[in-house]
Structure 1
Amino acid sequence: MDTDILIVGAGPAGLAFARQFKNSRLRITMIEKAPLESIQNPAYDGREIALTHRSREIMQNLGMWQRIPENEIYRLRDAKVYNGTSDYTLHFPQPSQARGGKTDRLGNLIANHHIRRAAYEEVAQMHNVTLRCGVGVKHVETNAQRALVQLDNGETLTAKLLIAADSRMSQTRRQLGIAADMHDFGRTVIVFRTKHTISNQHTASECFFYGRTLALLPLEEHLTNCVITISNTKAHELLDLPHEQLAKEAEKMLGGKLGEMEMAGSVHSYPLMGVHAKRFCGTRCALIGDAAVGMHPVTAHGYNLGLESTDILSQQILQADSRGKDIGSSDVLEMYNIKHQLHTRPLYHGTNAMVTFFTTENAPTKLLRDAVLRVSNNLPPLKKLISKQLTG
């Protein structure tokens, strides 16, 4: 074999997975169609990643957390959910207030490009990892003996195990014949940072307005990342606005809760798609990151599940290798599939159902939405369960 493990995609999940094998004897080859410069110095893309305590632990174990500047790690103290224009909120307080925990936050927020850079810097020091950038994958196939990848340049590589880490629209997953549940929400995500005159109190907010959803991710006390989701047919109404007017539109949506708002950076937009693979493994292959599960951003679990996938699968592989077993055997990969599916499948479908409920705008559903928030606020076991999911 040319390598032991071949990873398609050098995004934050693929790099974190490769880093799991530091000091192991396994040889890792990564294929990435983007140029090396974009991996070494990823550009800011507007995405602020909410990380659970479990994700922080994984990143610390991988040496990634320590590489991120302290002033770029933002405290997420608590979270609130609003329905329409009502001031009533479903409140998830910081853990120390909720159950006597030692931590002072639900989680942390870090910009995506800092995570990607930290992951690359760790992998770049590994002698058992080869990173091939600037070349795409033309074809993949697997059988009982090996995985084979044909590159755009005509070169062919073989490996004991193939890992797809190439986004939620993964072409590798499709070529491997692994089906997926895909949900097109028909919406566009618009993200931008704003400065404001009233403190955000390090509180995340999810505001389910009618026709639009606005999420607020607190960075500094007077700096917040705004995430607007809006119908694809109306996205141009916001994207065509001058940037300062877009900030004023967010101010208007909030009814001045953060005071005067002004733009504090660039504007980015993305199509809103959800995906969950039917299986996370096949013959000598496995899916991680968004290739396995691409979540709606409302629960902020995207990269948390990606990190979890790298942790579970790498532990299965390392244990098999230490026992002299075939790392690409079906029993090794099936154990990963079972463990990860148990967590991701109910979370994925539950999130989609919640989003559908809170974005349905007929009169009976609007009333029911408000009732659900009030009932949930007064059911401590339910709030504890949701808080546990939020903090990991």
Structure 2
Amino acid sequence: MTSTRFDIIIIGAGPAGLSFARSLANSPLRMAIIDPANMNALRAPAPDGREIALTHPSKDLLQQLGAWDAVPTDQIFYLRSAKVVDGESPFELHFKTPSHAKLSEDTLGYLISNHHIRTALFQQTEHQGNLTWFTEHKVQTVAANLDEARVVLSNGEQLTAQLVVAADSRFSQTRQQMGIPVDMHDFGRTVITCRIEHTASNDNTAFECFHYSRTLAILPLTDTLSSAVITIDSQHINEVLDLDDTGLAADLEQRLKGRLGTITVASPRHRYPLVGTHARRFYSTRFALIGDAAVGMHPVTAHGFNLGLQSQAILTELIQKAHAQQADIGSPNLLQQYDRRHQFKTRPIYHGTNFVVKLFTTETPPAKLARTAVLRISSALSPIRKLISQQLTG
């Protein structure tokens, strides 16, 4: 059977795959992108309940890709400060921008719904001249040798390339086919999200409260509109799902001790199992991982999407440099450079985040004492708060 030849094959048309394709829009490299969804679903993805926290570097990257300006301005929300509370502890961590700062100029970060980001990125890539779309297709097999990589689609069609880039989720099947081991941590928890309206202002402040078996995060959108993110032991999810909207609103009011006034549930609820993944390496023969296929983060520190953008930016830089030098864009040396650079960024954040989650959700007396000590010391020492703020803002 004959095969169609490309320079790069991208598996997955999510934010990471689309960003990577767009980053190489001005290059002469011929690319294919494969996704099981149809073009209409990619063009107008449905709301999925996920509000994405973006750092300043991520904003810059999206601006370079043309996606930032494609998001409706009234759908970009500003995060001025963040508070972390441990149950009934009197201590809290509070990170904020300078009191004189304007929201449009100086913030901890930005919040944009996932479906708006996906729509904006698709708008930039849909008619990209060097990109061929293979939608409504799944990858049946992917394999590679020293000379080329080969992808077989579910309809039997074959594609070959110098490099295959996988952006097919934290549960990547192509990663498994290419023999890349992964560290996986099932937290045994489920995330439930919904939007809420409230009578008191959220002051553009994110709020995270750890209540051991349940964590509640409030992400500010407009002054009186927020996203509620409930993380709960999976065996107890019906405690939330069985509540009607009135019951859930009353439960949130009680847990927030009235700080947002009267609450009304303003959207359907969405739920996601909570599993963290980190590939032990980000490459194989003529094959690279980006986005969640490389690192799937716990959402508590809001690093996942930002690390995904960084991954494609690092790989793009190395590919552009190699192509300019007429070198092999799928060489072991290039892929090993990518692996070293991205592992250096991700591994400490991944394991550090998992440690924080374990510390703040373990109910043993030593863990509770440790949490209180961490909050007390961190809230008292401004250098520590500054260091954490730098991590939050990127």
**TM-score w.r.t. length of structure 2:** 0.97
SS at structure 2 position matched to 1:7? strand
1:15 and 2:18 matched? yes
Question: Contact between 2:49 and 2:270, CA under 8 Å: does it hold in 1?
Answer: yes
Give, in whole Å, the separation in 2 of the partners of 1:24 and 1:331: 21
Equivalent residue, structure 2, for 1:269: 271
Q: 1:140 aligns with which of 115, 139, 142?
A: 142
Unaligned segments of structure 2, at least 5 residues: none
Give, in whole Å, the separation in 2 of the partners of 1:113 and 1:284: 31
Structural mapping, 1:156-175, within 5 Å: 156-175=158-177
Equivalent residue, structure 2, for 1:287: 289
Question: Contact between 2:212 and 2:360, CA under 8 Å: does it hold in 1?
Answer: no
CA deviation vs aligned residue, 1:292-335 (integer Å, no higher than 9, x gap): 00000000011100000011100100110011001000111111
Question: Contact between 2:78 and 2:103, CA under 8 Å: does it hold in 1?
Answer: no
Q: 2:357 aligns with which of 351, 355, 358?
A: 355
Q: 2:74 aligns with which of 71, 76, 88?
A: 71
Q: 2:304 aligns with which of 302, 306, 317?
A: 302
Structural mapping, 1:148-159, within 5 Å: 148-159=150-161
Equivalent residue, structure 2, for 1:83: 86
Question: Contact between 1:34 and 1:133, CA under 8 Å: does it hold in 2?
Answer: yes
Alignment CA distance shift 1:182-1:99 (3 Å): farther
The residue type equivalent to 1:199 in the other structure is S
Give, in whole Å, the separation in 2 of the partners of 1:228 and 1:101: 27
The residue type equivalent to 2:33 in the other structure is M
Question: Contact between 1:194 and 1:263, CA under 8 Å: does it hold in 2?
Answer: yes
SS at structure 1 position matched to 2:268? coil
Give, in whole Å, the separation in 1 of the partners of 2:379 and 2:89: 15
SS at structure 1 position matched to 2:203? coil
Structural mapping, 1:183-222, within 5 Å: 183-222=185-224
State the shift of 1:362 in Å: 1.6
Unaligned segments of structure 1, at least 5 residues: none
CA deviation vs aligned residue, 1:190-237 (integer Å, no higher than 9, x gap): 000000011000001111013100111000010010000000100112
State the shift of 1:87 in Å: 4.8
Give, in whole Å, the separation in 2 of the partners of 1:65 and 1:100: 19
Equivalent residue, structure 2, for 1:179: 181
Structural mapping, 1:5-84, within 5 Å: 5-84=8-87
State the shift of 1:30 in Å: 0.4
**How many residue pairs were aligned?**
391
Alignment CA distance shift 1:139-1:48 (3 Å): same
Pick which of 29-38 and 47-56 moved more: 29-38
SS at structure 2 position matched to 1:233? helix
The residue type equivalent to 2:51 in the other structure is E
Structural mapping, 1:246-257, within 5 Å: 246-257=248-259
CA deviation vs aligned residue, 1:239-296 (integer Å, no higher than 9, x gap): 1221232222221211111111111111000000000000011110100000000000
CA deviation vs aligned residue, 1:53-88 (integer Å, no higher than 9, x gap): 000000000000010011000000011100003353
Pick which of 256-265 and 112-121 moved more: 256-265
Give, in whole Å, the separation in 2 of the partners of 1:123 and 1:215: 33
1:120 and 2:122 matched? yes
The residue type equivalent to 2:7 in the other structure is D
SS at structure 1 position matched to 2:7? strand
Give, in whole Å, the separation in 1 of the partners of 2:154 and 2:314: 31
Equivalent residue, structure 2, for 1:371: 373
Identical counterparts, % of pairs: 53
Give, in whole Å, the separation in 1 of the partners of 2:186 and 2:281: 20
Equivalent residue, structure 1, for 2:228: 226
Equivalent residue, structure 2, for 1:242: 244
CA deviation vs aligned residue, 1:33-67 (integer Å, no higher than 9, x gap): 11221100000000000000000000000000010
